[in-house]
Amino acid sequence: MKASLLPGEASLGVMGGGQLGRMFVHAAQSLGFRTVVLDPDADSPAGLVAHQHIRSDYLDVAGLTLLAQQCAAITTEFENVPAQALERLAQTRFVAPAGAAVAICQDRVAEKAHFAASAVACAPYAVIVSEADLLAVGDDLLPGILKTATLGYDGKGQVRVRSRAELAAAWSELKQVRCVLEQMLPLALEISVISARNAQGEIVQFPVQQNLHIDGILAVTQVPAPGVSAALQEQALASAARIAASMNYVGVLCVEFFILQDGRLIVNEMAPRPHNSGHYTMNACDLSQFDLQVRAMTGLPLVQPRLHSPTLMLNLLGDLWFSPAEPGVERTPAWDQVLALPGTHLHLYGKTSARPGRKMGHLNITAASAEQAESVARQAAALLG
Ligand code: ADP
Ligand code: MG
């Protein structure tokens, strides 16, 4: 792509209609872009707010052809969009990220090879495709975590194992699909880095995010990261930049890291799109991760984003829609009381029904200090609990 696509003129497309697509659509629309979403679901959160919703399967040729006809550039919000679909679109349109980069992020085996090629350390691991691989696993990988090579998310598609017997049982439980077994690492904490890179190789990054997961799902993100030294933050930012550059990545990329109890930085996994841990940017930075997704795919200038407030994000899972006293009855959480707290910014994704564990929205809290953000978060959690 040579010239940039100008706000108020072009149409932008997104593969996938989830909440990430919805927030992309909002960011694109605020610049005056026309937006088109391709997703099979009639009630998809992004399809509901886009100018046009192409309701088709991700590999449907007619749907892909229509998307390409309608849009000057296309992105994805969902890493499991088949890479072939992106490659097909790329025959006629600018697609960012490219299918080849998405294919690496879709497969834990390819992803780990890419981390190694980028000189960023990941957990010791073995690839399991056969019984022989299972038998050949070194003792150093136990206890470990067996993860499916593809399609895992929010802690799904993975089983923790302590012994060879548990490993064999876990592989059967995962239907003996291609897996990686990772050594269980002693984590001190988890962080992530969101980068945006354009076709000229220019890169900008948000500050390091500190993330707390509960039951495998992101629960809280804090920025600035309270538990991470400046040196480790610099190392994480540099590592993420190398990972993006070495696959010539264009778009927004999130890289998740572990910090081990001995202080070492280890890369975990990456997502070829904006990320739940970057939702705080919508209120705490002068440009959000979705603004940068729009800029990277259109060739508009990538400007270094600035964090203007200490912030804390609380993920809002469907569990909050049910009170422990009446577990079967859906209710609306006390948003009016939550919004009375200073610095609260509520984002709901327009999902038609709540389910425990389902991501329904997030609450960004901005404050003059990290302590104040934490104090408001505790009050909000008490009101929602
Ligand atoms: P998902 O795709 O579900 O996010 P992850 O690979 O990020 O899968 O694993 C989910 C969570 O499990 C991580 O955020 C971390 O808390 C824990 N975890 C994953 N791998 C390891 C590991 N090798 N050692 C210790 N904890 C891990
Ligand atoms: Mg993860």
- The interface predicted TM-score (ipTM) is 0.98
Mean pLDDT of the chain: 96
192 and 317 share one domain:
yes
| Within-domain flag for 109 | no
300 and 212 share one domain:
yes
Give 282-336 pLDDT, tens digit per residue: 999 999 999 999 999 999 999 999 999 999 999 999 999 998 888 889 999 999 9
Contact between 105 and 86 under an 8 Å Cβ cutoff? The reply is no
CA 185 to each of CA 111, 124, 233, 257, 262: distance values in angstroms, whole numbers, following the listed order: 18, 9, 20, 12, 11
Count CB-CB contacts under 10 A for residue 352.
Answer: 7
pLDDT score for 385: 85
| Within-domain flag for 2 | no
244 and 371 share one domain:
yes
Report the nearest-CA residue for atom 8 of ligand 1.
155
| Within-domain flag for 1 | no
192 and 252 share one domain:
yes
67 and 203 share one domain:
no
CATH number at residue 172: 3.30.1490.20
Helices 83-90/99-106 angle, 10° precision? 170
Domain boundary among 161, 183, 205: 183
Contact between 154 and 138 under an 8 Å Cβ cutoff? The reply is no
Question: What residues have CB less than 8 Å from 190, skipping those under 6 apart?
Answer: 210, 211, 212, 213, 256, 257, 258, 259, 268
| Full domain range(s) for residue 236 | 187-384
Residue 269: closest CA among 332, 216, 306, 331: 216
| Within-domain flag for 3 | no
Of all residues in the chain, what percent are helix, strand and coil, respectively (each to 5)? 30, 30, 40
Binding residues: 108, 147, 152-158, 182-185, 190, 213, 268-269
Q: Which two tokens stand for residue 171?
A: 């592989």
CATH number at residue 57: 3.40.50.20
DSSP state of 280: T
196 and 271 share one domain:
yes
247 and 133 share one domain:
no
Ligand 1 test: best mutation among 158, 217, 257, most atoms within 8 Å of CB?
Answer: 158
Domain count, the chain: 3
233 and 379 share one domain:
yes
Of ligand 1's atoms, which has the minimum distance to the CA of residue 186? 25
pLDDT score for 154: 83
pLDDT score for 325: 85
Contact between 210 and 189 under an 8 Å Cβ cutoff? The reply is yes
Binding residues for ATP: 108, 147, 152-158, 182-185, 190, 213, 268-269
Helices 99-106/108-117 angle, 10° precision? 110
pLDDT score for 143: 98
pLDDT score for 310: 98
Angle at 180 between CA 175 and CA 181, to 5 degrees: 100
| Within-domain flag for 4 | no
Domain boundary among 78, 95, 112: 95
| Within-domain flag for 270 | yes
161 and 305 share one domain:
no
Give 194-214 pLDDT, tens digit per residue: 999 999 999 999 999 999 999
Q: Which two tokens stand for residue 259?
A: 């910090």
CATH number at residue 278: 3.30.470.20
Taking the C-alpha atoms of residue 299 and residue 199, their distance in angstroms, rounded to an integer, is 7
pLDDT score for 225: 98
pLDDT score for 352: 87
Query: Is this model's pTM higher than 0.95 or not?
Result: yes
Report the nearest-CA residue for atom 5 of ligand 1.
155
CA 307 to each of CA 120, 179, 235, 285, 315: distance values in angstroms, whole numbers, following the listed order: 26, 38, 19, 4, 20
Residue linked to tokens 């997030």: 362
Q: Which residues of the chain have pLDDT under 70?
A: 1-3
| Identity of the amino acid at 167 | L
251 and 321 share one domain:
yes
Provide Rg for the chain, Cα atoms.
21
DSSP state of 48: T
Domain boundary among 183, 217, 250: 183
Q: Ligand 1 within 6 A of 144 CB?
A: no
210 and 145 share one domain:
no
DSSP state of 379: H
pLDDT score for 326: 86
Q: Which two tokens stand for residue 358?
A: 């389902």
Question: What sign does the dihedral 249-46-28-365 (CA atoms) show?
Answer: negative
| Within-domain flag for 112 | no
pLDDT score for 205: 98
75 and 140 share one domain:
no
Count CB-CB contacts under 10 A for residue 228.
Answer: 22
Ligand 1 test: best mutation among 147, 259, 268, 269, most atoms within 8 Å of CB?
Answer: 268
